[in-house]
Amino acid sequence: MLQPYSWRRRDGGAAAHGFFNGRVLKESLGQALVTFFPVAGRLAQAQDESGRFEIDCNGQGVLFVEAETDVTISELGDFQPAPELMQLVPQVDFSKGISSFPLLLVQVTRFRCGGVCLGIGYQHAISDGKGFYNLLTAWSSLARGLSVATNLLPFLDRTILRSRSPPSPTWQHPEYCESIDEEQQTPPPSALSTSTRILSLSLDQIMRLKEKANSSTNGDDINRYYTTYEVLTAHIWRCVTVARSFADRNQPVTLHVTIDGRRRFEPALPPGYFGNCLFHAVVAASTAELASESLHRTAGRIRRAIRRSDDEYMRSSIDYLERAGGSTIRIPGISGSPHLKVISWAQLPFGQDFGWGDPIFVRPACSWEGSCLLLPKPRDEDGGLSFSICLEAAAMERFKGLLTTDDSTVLSTTTATSLPRLDSRL
């Protein structure tokens, strides 16, 4: 995870005394790491036959960097994911092996206008996004002089997600593949001319989509009122598929979505579970089906795939990975394929108040073709949603047009100015 948070001083101008004070941030982060101590360790590879990754809690610490630039936040537009944003996150040398670099990277960049960006790089082998946000919330609370809420305290016993003995998968798991063939190989970045955009839907636009999707509900469990997530994901998937203009109308396409399993297990995991509890659901269709069927039907496909991820299915998934040994198991590649991956941050906090208010932007620093990220929204917004999406350039233009013209659902877009180069000025 590479993520910049951006704050603008309300009075503008040069940074005032105490605004995003580096000492306060470092000391409070150190306090947070006492509780979240695995984050201060390093990844290591087990010396047994499994060869799996482990966290060595050796207390080597995290990387904290402070930087300055003579550009202003406004010159970066709305922080659309771009290579330039990578300069807002500390860079490390990955060639020395997994045990050589920190698991948390933090960079505080001060802009000429007085604004600040907190760029964070985080190793997902430690935890998923929920665990990361618990750490971030604890850090921001300590920076404001508060104690850490009980529900944020990390639960570190990962044996509760241990496979059964012996591993006994009861389902097929199309969300994983055992090898990478030519069709699944991700093309080199230079082979794809991609475009990344951050698009926004107002509350009114979302409600019209939901009204359309729910016009055929009949009250049964599968067809009851569809959620915002189900409807918006279905709408994006349909438009992306049509925008890609496949020559074969029967081209198989899949949608990959992530699911937080914490509350789906029986019993549910402790709220502070600190680890990776993300599971994956796959929805399959053909281009012809998505182009012709109703939004209601596509939303139903997504609901059924998500509903399948109950306690038994997730336990089966754990057993499947354990029995395979993990050496060749991976999630199928998305970039350059006919498929789409949607990840939701929408239920996560928009940002953290370290004592100087909420951020004005929370963005991913990078993206890959075929990825869509539903973004958290500021507290003062009207209930709409924004999302970041990366597609091949030609498909992006068609995608925006489809979203604009689909049953008069008007999609507003924000256009960033040309991003200045930052490398010579940091």
| Residues 236 and 186 occupy one common structural domain | yes
Asked if residue 171 belongs to a domain, the reply is: no
Give the pair of three-digit tokens for residue 54: 């482990």
* pLDDT-derived band at 2, boundaries 50, 70, 90: low
Nearest to 6 by CA among 151, 154, 171, 116: 116
Specify if 269 maps to a domain: yes
At residue 94 the predicted structure's pLDDT band, cuts being 50, 70 and 90, is confident
268 vs 125 pLDDT, higher one: 268
409, 261: one domain: yes
Residue 263 lies in a domain: yes
Range from 4-8, 236-240, 277-281, 379-383 carrying the lowest mean pLDDT: 379-383
Percent of the chain with pLDDT over 90: 56
Catalytic residue among 78, 260, 310, 353: 353
User: Is there a single domain that holds both residue 203 and residue 108?
Assistant: no
Joined together, the tokens standing for residue 46 give 């087990």
Residues 128, 55 share a domain: yes
What total number of domains does the chain contain?
A: 2
Percent of the chain predicted with pLDDT > 70? 83
Q: Looking at 56, 70, 124, 311, which residue is catalytic? A: 124
Residue 420: inside a domain: no
Average pLDDT of the residues in 333-342: 90
Q: Is residue 122, in this structure, part of any structural domain at all?
A: yes
Q: Are residues 223 and 273 in the same domain?
A: yes
Q: How confident is the model at residue 168 (pLDDT cuts 50, 70, 90)?
A: very high
| Inter-CA distances, 242 with 184, 233, 398, Å | 21, 14, 8
Q: Is 124 a catalytic residue?
A: yes
Highest mean pLDDT (candidates 140-149, 173-182, 223-232): 140-149
What CA–CA distance (Å, rounded) separates 397 from 293?
23
CATH number at residue 16: 3.30.559.10
Is 224 part of any domain?
A: yes
- Domain boundary residue, one of 134, 154, 174: 154
What pLDDT digit, counting tens, does each position of 260-295 carry?
A: 999 999 999 998 999 999 999 999 999 999 999 999
Quick check: is 169 in a domain? no
Do the domain assignments include residue 423? no
Pair (127, 265) in one structural domain: no
Q: What is the pLDDT of residues 293-322, one digit of tens each?
A: 999 999 999 999 999 999 999 999 999 998
Rounded to whole angstroms, how far apart are CA atoms 114 and 25? 17
So what's the pLDDT on residue 423? 36
Is residue 424 over pLDDT 60?
no
Stretch 81-99: mean pLDDT: 84
* Same-domain status, 100 and 213: no
286 exposure class (CB count in 10 Å sphere: 0-12, 13-18, 19+): middle
106 neighbors 40 (Cβ within 8 angstroms) = no
- In this structure, the answer to whether residues 244 and 122 fall within a common structural domain is no
The answer to whether 45 and 142 are in contact (CB under 8 A) is no
Whether 212 and 89 map to the same domain: the answer is no
CB 343 within 8 A of CB 259: no
Q: Among 154, 169, 195, give the residue marking a domain's end.
A: 154
Could you count the other beta carbons within 10 Å of the beta carbon of residue 193?
10
Mean per-residue pLDDT over the chain, rounded: 84
* In a shared domain, residues 191 and 149: no
* Range(s) of the domain holding residue 8: 2-154
Is 149 in the same domain as 186? Answer: no
